[in-house]
Amino acid sequence: MVLRIATRRSPLAWAQYEEVVRRLQAINPALAVEAVALSTRGDEIADRSLAPIGGKGLFISALEDALCDLRADCAVHSLKDVPAALDPRFVLLAILPRGDARDCLVGAATLAALPAGARIGTSSLRRQSQILARRPDVKVQPVRGSVGSRLDRLASGELEALVLAQAGLERLGVDPRETTVLETEESVPAIGQGALAIECLRHRAGELEILRALHDPETAACVLAERAFGVDLGVDCTAPVGAFASLAKDGEFTLLAYAGSADGLHSYRDSLSGREPDALGRKLAQRFHEQGIRKLIAQTP
């Protein structure tokens, strides 16, 4: 059997595919693997926000089409691009051990060190909201495209700083000269950030049993809390919302979450601890509902 894995063509997506292959071949060195490299609408539309035209789901639709057409057996995704409410035809068969879930600031030592009017690049409303909540005097500029093209815009002087995912830089082996990792309390990560997921058709899960060996229960439990929060709050992965769960040695989860307006003028963050990740996510979402956050998010363009 040749295992056909669907992946996007971008450098970061390819690095994620290679990580999955390394892990699979460590389990079964004789396993034959073939990449089904695809371009997605999310990759092709680089000149405007994805939120009004389908959000981050645009990054996975072409890969899911390949699963349905049996051109691929499974697909590898960055979990933060996977809608929290998954199409019931599909299942996330494995969630890999999480990389660094934090955001990082590239081009400046701290957000506070940037001068008034500094141009900060990010394509994320979540990051934009948290930046402007702390620094309303800076200018957030939308940037899309590959990590390399974003770093080029910083190097050219078009921007004074960038906010990126630390896991993406690490997977690409990129180490910009001035990079500061932002702690989760400072910049609450996207739901599922830093984790990779392997998706397949639900009815084919049994024949793809080898993929379950890649599953990391701790990461899966943490992102379950985050995704339950997102589902119960009724948001997609383009909303100015973040959630990050961690597991203590005593078996208790702590879930930290943020929601705000795109301009950062209104925001709410809260945290909660518990032992059942799904219930924890739903309970924290209820606190956000009580603060009227859903109405605030609905007004985000």
The predicted pLDDT at position 49 comes to 46
The predicted pLDDT at position 50 comes to 44
For residue range 255-279, what is the model confidence (pLDDT) as tens digits? 999 999 999 999 999 999 999 999 9
Domains of the chain are 2-97+195-215 (3.40.190.10), 103-181 (3.40.190.10), 229-298 (3.30.160.40)
What is the average pLDDT score of the chain?
92
- How far is Cα 242 from Cα 240, in angstroms, rounded to an integer? 7
Percent of the chain with pLDDT over 70: 92
Contact 236, 84 (CB under 8 A): yes
- How far is Cα 146 from Cα 247, in angstroms, rounded to an integer? 32
For residue range 186-220, what is the model confidence (pLDDT) as tens digits? 999 999 999 999 999 999 999 999 999 999 999 99
User: What is this structure's pTM?
Assistant: 0.91
Q: Which residues are catalytic?
A: 81
- How far is Cα 80 from Cα 193, in angstroms, rounded to an integer? 5
The predicted pLDDT at position 57 comes to 55
The predicted pLDDT at position 53 comes to 39
Q: Is the pLDDT of residue 46 over 70?
A: no
Q: Band the pLDDT of 45: cuts 50, 70, 90.
A: very low
Residue type, 190: A
Provide the β-strand partners of residue 273. 254
For residue range 142-194, what is the model confidence (pLDDT) as tens digits? 998 899 999 999 999 999 999 999 999 999 999 888 899 999 999 999 999 99
Q: Which residues lie closer than 8 Å to 102 by C-beta, 6 or more apart?
A: 165, 166, 181, 182, 183, 184, 187, 189, 194
Q: Is the pLDDT of residue 284 over 90?
A: yes
The predicted pLDDT at position 56 comes to 47
Q: Which residues lie closer than 8 Å to 130 by C-beta, 6 or more apart?
A: 186, 187, 188, 242, 258, 260, 264, 267
For residue range 10-31, what is the model confidence (pLDDT) as tens digits? 999 999 999 999 999 999 999 9
- How far is Cα 31 from Cα 203, in angstroms, rounded to an integer? 22
User: What per-residue string of b and e applies to 260-296 under the rule 16 or more CB within 10 Å gives b?
Assistant: bbbebebbeeebbebeebbebbbbbbeebeeeebeeb
Q: Is the pLDDT of residue 55 over 80?
A: no
Q: How many CA atoms lie within 13 A of 275 on its CB side?
A: 3
Is pLDDT larger for residue 112 or for residue 41? 112
